[in-house]
Amino acid sequence: MERKQFELGDVVQMKKPHPCGTNAWKVIRMGMDIRIKCTGCDHSVMIPRLEFERKLKKILSRAGEDPQS
Ligand SMILES: [Zn+2]
């Protein structure tokens, strides 16, 4: 299985959407634990890195990419 690469500021999709109906989370803190913020309601959660990698479905947008270009 391919290891998913993610960086601070990336917007990711998880296997389960947030109860608010949004399934786009922004990575706002990296470390032993990852903090992600729901882009729909601004609720943030901290989860262990391994658990985050398991629940991560895909990367929606990269922090380094300029959507205007
Ligand atoms: Zn939400």
Per-residue pLDDT tens over the stretch 6-61? 999 999 999 999 999 999 999 999 999 999 999 999 999 999 999 999 999 999 99
> How many angstroms separate the CA atoms of 54 and 4, rounded?
10
Which structure tokens are listed for 54?
């398991």
Q: How far is the CA of 57 from the centre of ligand 1 (A)?
A: 17
Residue pair 58/47 in contact by the 8 Å Cβ criterion: no
Q: How far is the CA of 11 from the centre of ligand 1 (A)?
A: 13
* Per-residue pLDDT, 5: 84
Residue pair 61/44 in contact by the 8 Å Cβ criterion: no
Chain centre distance of CA 8: 9
* Per-residue pLDDT, 32: 93
Q: How far is the CA of 25 from the centre of ligand 1 (A)?
A: 8
